[in-house]
Structure 1
């Protein structure tokens, strides 16, 4: 037996109504849909529809992914990490770059390379 028309309208929202439900502009929802971001949607005929339960789940996922509302992933709760020294790779080997030297005047000294005379 088919559901009454009012029940199906309560379960799904069109794109403009879904945008209103989320508190964002319809254009933002269009862009998210085009980029395959945002809440899950589907086409019902020619209209883009959003299931209200899917919108609520998407909102909960956004809250869990945000470090401000989820203390477990808040970077301020973590112990600071030490940075490792920069390492250059040459020919597959890890080689530390030599320290730079400066002159007393503060100008950088560029190491001179002696070139072999060409004949």
Structure 2
């Protein structure tokens, strides 16, 4: 059985970090393999994450989301005008 960190612990295990960001441990491992996960470190053969790094990672992704960042919302931009195709010439 795995020991659980205290609720105020600044360092979380991979499983605890995954629960904190509402992902599965497998999804967090995949993010680490792709190097898109929050910064983590190994200690004693275990991957650990700082709670502050997780918060920063979540804030960064929230800022990149068009649903929470009006500047990135594509529906607020006027659509591009339609381009007319040149007329095709019929063969004689």
The bucket for the TM-score relative to the shorter chain is 0.7 to 0.9
Higher relative contact order (CA 8 A, sep 6+): 2
Distance (Å, rounded) in 1 between the aligned partners of 2:19 and 2:32: 16
User: What is the TM-score normalised by the length of structure 1?
Assistant: 0.62
May I ask how many residue pairs the two structures share in their alignment?
87
Unaligned runs of 5+ in 2: none
Find the residue that maps to 1:33 and give its secondary structure: helix
Structure number with greater Rg is: 1
Distance (Å, rounded) in 1 between the aligned partners of 2:53 and 2:60: 10
Corresponding residue of 2:24: 25
RMSD: 2.6
Corresponding residue of 2:38: 39
Distance (Å, rounded) in 2 between the aligned partners of 1:37 and 1:61: 12
Corresponding residue of 1:59: 58
Distance (Å, rounded) in 1 between the aligned partners of 2:71 and 2:31: 27
Structure 2 CA distance for partners of 1:38 and 1:85, relative to 1, 3 Å: farther
Distance (Å, rounded) in 2 between the aligned partners of 1:83 and 1:41: 48
Unaligned runs of 5+ in 1: 1-5, 87-97, 103-108, 112-119
